[in-house]
Amino acid sequence: MTHNQPIVPRSNEDTKQILNRLRRVEGQVRGIQQMVEEDRYCVDILVQISAANSALKKVGLQVLEHHAKHCVVDAAQNGESDEVMDDLLKVIRQFSKT
C-alpha cells in the first residue's frame, strides 16, 4: 500500500513546526556552504555537518512519530494493519540507515 498523502493529515501546528525545523536545517546547510567557500577549518565544517544531520534526523523522527501514532493506528483500526505495518517497518529500516 503506497499513499500519496498521510492517512491522517498533520495538524496545522505540526506542519508549521516541521517547516520551521526544516528552514533551520536549510539555514545550517547554507552556513556550511559558506564555510566551505571561505575555506574554513575542516573540523569546524564537520561539526556543523553533524549538527545539521542531527537536526534533520529530529525532523524525520517527528514525522515518523506522527505516522506511527496516527496513520498506523488509524489503518490498523480499519483492517489494514498488515499492509501499514509492512510500510512502517520498511520506512524504519530505511530511516535507520541514515
Helices (H), the chain: 12-37, 42-66, 73-77, 81-96
Residues whose CB is less than 8 angstroms from the CB of residue 60 and which lie 6 or more positions away in sequence, other chains included: 95, 98
C-alpha 24 chain-centroid distance: 13
For 10, other C-beta atoms within 10 Å of its C-beta total 17
- Residues 40-57 pLDDT 10s: 999 999 999 999 999 999
- When the pLDDT of each residue in the chain is averaged and rounded to a whole number, the result is 89
pTM of this structure: 0.78
